[in-house]
Amino acid sequence: MAESESQEGNSDDRGKKVENFEMDMEELIEKIEDLTVRVSWLAFDNIALQTNPDLPRAMQHLEDAYLACKEQMEKQQEVLME
């Protein structure tokens, strides 16, 4: 009787270990997938920059224009609120 109870306990422990292992593996796979995507984007950006050296300047111009537009929109919203 005690022997069968200890076997059930061992079985439960094994089940928990397997479940924990599976969860750990899923987390690791998700992290690896995230890193793979990041590396892919880094490679893409690097190739784009090498192909078109003017790209950073154009991106900076777009960012500046966006920030100026955003600032104007915020000012207009403040005026409308008053």
CB–CB of 55/48 below 8 Å?
Answer: yes
pLDDT > 60? residue 68: yes
Report the C-alpha gap between 73 and 15 in whole angstroms. 58
Identify the pLDDT of residue 31.
96
pLDDT > 60? residue 43: yes
Q: State CA 34 to chain mean position distance.
A: 6
Burial of 64 (0-12, 13-18, 19+ CB in 10 A): exposed
Is the pTM higher than 0.85? The answer reads no
Identify the pLDDT of residue 6.
56
Domain residue limits, the chain: 8-51, 53-81
Identify the pLDDT of residue 2.
47
